[in-house]
């Protein structure tokens, strides 16, 4: 019996169930009402059951029709996935993918992703643009100069975003500092504080965190480059609060502590919402579901839109 069932019959079954009558289902499918009726009647005959109760108020699924509809929907979903895989393969014999990224992700996360992507799709040309801040990445997405961006800013309606990983903020102390394993806020007042520049998103996040906890935050130095901050801490010039991914690779003797109240940044992948995207972009998003990340990070593998 299963070999006799046609896709057109399954499409008609789903359309009638959704529309509630044969004429509307025909309009949705672009065929006549009689063609829909014939498809349903022949499907019922082949299966030996009644799928719809018909009357003046339309067509309604019978109990067995409800159960069969569920399987039909699953079959059509599987078919769509098969078609998508085929389309991806055809579309990925060439093409371009432009990625916007900030330094710490470019250093520690992206190379492994690109290596895996290149293995699967060697003919896709991938270009990378590094940006200093999230604003620059978002501007590039809006202007169309990149197809996909890694950002830390909260998602907006302008973009479709997926959470990639969570990056803990840690406190770095010089090798000779005498500090407990579990910090108290008073421990911060004993050392000069080295922070990013005030226009950096990480500075804003740290500032908001301290402010919400009613803790003073006075920087002795505001430094642009993460590596410079780490070097200054190593030389005993102060301490810093920094995202772990930005601090890596950590010098072996530097002391690492957790904040008294934890703080983390959420790294997201963003694309322009309601825009046409290439097969290469969708293939890269699919890769993220199975990719590996640094073990020091808590990462989210669920790529669900965050609107």
Paired with 161 in beta bridges are 270
DSSP-assigned states of every residue in 33-96: HHHHHHHHHHHHHHHTS--EEEETTEEEE-HHHHHHHHHHHHHHHHHHHHHHHHHHHHHTTS-E
The answer to whether 257 and 263 have CB atoms below 8 angstroms apart is no
* Total length of the chain: 307
Q: What are phi and psi of 285, to 5 degrees?
A: -60, -40
Over 50: is that where the pLDDT of 303 sits?
no
The pTM score is 0.64
Topology adopted by domain 2-91: Arc Repressor Mutant, subunit A (1.10.10)
User: What local confidence, expressed as pLDDT, does residue 41 receive?
Assistant: 93
C-alpha dist (Å) from residue 262 to 63, 148, 159: 53, 29, 28
pLDDT band for 3, please (50, 70, 90 cuts): low
Summarize pLDDT for 243-288 with one digit per residue, the tens.
Answer: 998 998 899 999 999 999 999 999 999 999 878 888 889 889 988 8
Find out whether 136 and 211 touch, Cβ atoms under 8 Å: no
Out of 109-113, 188-192, 297-301, which region has the weakest mean confidence (pLDDT)? 297-301
pLDDT computed for residue 135 by the predictor: 67
**pLDDT digit string, tens, across residues 120-148:** 888 889 999 998 765 688 889 989 999 99
**pLDDT reading at 64 higher than 70:** yes
- pLDDT for 155 equals 77
DSSP-derived 3-state class of residue 133: coil
| pLDDT given at position 304 | 38
For the chain, give every domain's residue range. Answer: 2-91, 149-307
Of the segments 20-34, 141-155, 227-241, which one has the largest average pLDDT value? Answer: 227-241
CA–CA separation, 123 and 106 (whole Å): 21
Percent of the chain past pLDDT 70, that is, above it, reads 91
pLDDT for 90 beyond 70: no
Instruction: Determine how many CB atoms are found less than 10 A away from the CB of residue 118.
Output: 12
Alpha helices in the chain (DSSP H): 7-19, 22-29, 33-47, 63-91, 103-108, 110-120, 134-143, 201-212, 226-234, 244-247, 279-288
Among 79-88, 163-172, 189-198, 265-274, the minimum mean pLDDT is found in 79-88
pLDDT for the residue numbered 195: 96
Highest CATH level, class, for 149-307:
alpha beta
Rg of the chain over all Cα atoms, to the nearest angstrom: 28
* Beta carbons of 69 and 209 less than 8 angstroms apart: no
């Amino acid at each position: 019996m299963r070999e006799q069932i046609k896709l057109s019959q399954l499409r008609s079954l789903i359309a009638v169930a959704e529309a509630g009558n044969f004429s509307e289902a025909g309009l949705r499918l672009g065929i006549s009402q009689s063609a829909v009726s014939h498809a349903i009647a022949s499907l019922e005959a082949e299966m030996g059951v009644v799928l719809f109760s018909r009357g003046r108020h339309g067509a309604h699924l019978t109990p067995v029709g409800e159960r069969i509809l569920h399987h039909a929907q699953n079959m059509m979903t599987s078919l769509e996935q098969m078609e998508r895989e085929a389309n991806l393969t055809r579309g990925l014999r060439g093409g371009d993918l432009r990625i916007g990224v900030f330094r710490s992700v470019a250093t520690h996360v992206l190379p492994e992703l690109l290596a895996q992507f290149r293995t699967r799709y060697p003919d896709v040309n991938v270009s990378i643009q590094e940006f200093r801040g999230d604003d620059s990445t978002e501007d590039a997405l809006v202007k169309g100069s990149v197809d996909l961006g890694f950002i830390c800013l909260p998602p907006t309606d302008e973009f479709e975003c997926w959470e990639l990983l969570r990056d803990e903020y840690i406190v770095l102390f010089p090798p000779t500092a005498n500090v407990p394993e579990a910090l108290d806020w008073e421990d911060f007042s004993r050392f000069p504080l080295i922070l990013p520049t005030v226009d950096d998103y990480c500075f804003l996040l740290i500032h908001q965190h301290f402010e919400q906890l009613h803790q003073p935050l006075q920087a002795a130095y505001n430094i642009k480059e993460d590596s410079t901050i780490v070097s200054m801490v190593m030389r005993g010039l102060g301490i810093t609060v920094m995202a772990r991914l930005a601090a890596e690779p950590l010098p072996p003797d530097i002391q690492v502590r957790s904040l008294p109240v934890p703080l983390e940044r959420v790294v997201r992948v963003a694309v322009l919402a309601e825009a046409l995207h290439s097969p290469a972009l969708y293939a890269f998003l699919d890769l993220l579901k199975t990719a590996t990340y640094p073990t020091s990070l808590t990462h989210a593998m669920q790529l669900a839109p965050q609107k």
